[in-house]
Structure 1
Amino acid sequence: MKPTQRDIVVLIHGLGRSPRSLLALRFWLWRAGYRVISVSYPSRRVTVQKAVDQWLKPVLAKLRLTKGTRVHFVTHSLGGILFRAWAENRDPSFPLGRTVMLGPPNQGSEVLAQLGESPWLRRLLGPVIHELGVDETSTPRRLGAVPPGTGIIMGNKPVITLFRDLLGPESDGIVTVAGGWVAGQADFMVTQADHTFMMWRPRVLRAVERFLKEGAFISHTEWAMADNLSPASS
């Protein structure tokens, strides 16, 4: 569905980052016809729920919503967990559109679970480090299914290989591909990208725009063409 000037995209950055990390997305989606709003929050000083209550909700409350407005979300890493925490208790009347989550630790973070007891890491990353483990009590594991119209993009070509032994061969260097899966997702895409810089890759930018417009990362035409390929032609 083609966006109108009423459509809004809310961007939520990840842990230790700022809205500047999503500048490519902001410009790309503005060019695609959306109004784009960035949420800034002190990710290394607050819990997930405090970030939602004190930074995300006030931004959403100030949106100028007119009849027919849809509010979409694009998140990176921890930003996806903030979105899930907000969405789980959102006002049913909120005009939620589609959402794309980039590299979300939807099943927790093996890296933080392994290193979370380190005093220097706790000082560096703050209270959220205790929420992002991989056990059933972690915040991502306790949250429910994502809203309809949510797509996930995960990378599998890490630049940082420090955690390869811990994460295995299918990860973006920080989050495993399998760790991005979540109940309720509408589509799931894996691309050759690193966790830190995936949102700057043209293929990711194009996929985000397509999902917001069509609800899928690959169009029906492309799926049909893929289904019709014979072994000889592929």
Structure 2
Amino acid sequence: MKPDLPSFGLANLGPIAQLRAGRLPERLLRLMLGLWLYGVAIALMIEGALGASPWDVFHLGVSLHAPMSLGTVMVITAIAVLLAWIPLRQMPGVGTIANTLLLGPFADLNLMLFDTPQTLPLRIAYMLGGVVACAFATALYVGAQLGPGPRDGLMTGLARRTGWSIRRVRTAIEITVLAVGVILGGTVGVGTVLFALGVGPLTQFFLRYLVVRLDAPNAALSGETT
């Protein structure tokens, strides 16, 4: 049987229940490290110049039609994606707000810190490192159980509602977003394809080890677990 979302111990808690579920300092640290690392992953993929992730193909495509930085486009997109949470009954939290407001600036900052490598082997290393770092970062901050980011809440919400595995849902989302990004003029490459097909399985793998087990009594008493 394929492991689905509930097998990892991810709870769909409301904001207050998330904060009361125990191990809060550790979970906040995981959240911030995960978001920062995600910004690093974005920079590695873009500066590797072998194809950005599907979401960033979309973000870059939008930036071609609007006078905004990549990070600003990411923030606006995140707010728009939150609207898709309504029918999924996905619970937001501190992590949702942090992802919405910080991931874009973290991406812009890391893009200033990294330069495009001059050699192909190093560019390939950037590309591969970006894919692995993104999956690890996603599992790290989603596993903190403080509310997933808008894009990952879409992933976890669909997985919970459909019963599909994380890798299946994540791959479907990445391919859909990629198609829209290409239409908008975003640049694709081998890294884009690798990311679209690989980040879902890798995220599912890392979630096995990075989900923080919550205080069961608090979670049960909240009445907000679905």
Common fold by TM > 0.5: no
When normalised by structure 2's length, the TM-score is: 0.29
Under a length normalisation based on structure 1, what TM-score does the superposition of the two structures give? 0.29
**Highest CA radius of gyration, 1 or 2?**
1
Bigger relative contact order, structure 1 or 2 (CA pairs below 8 A, ≥6 apart): 2
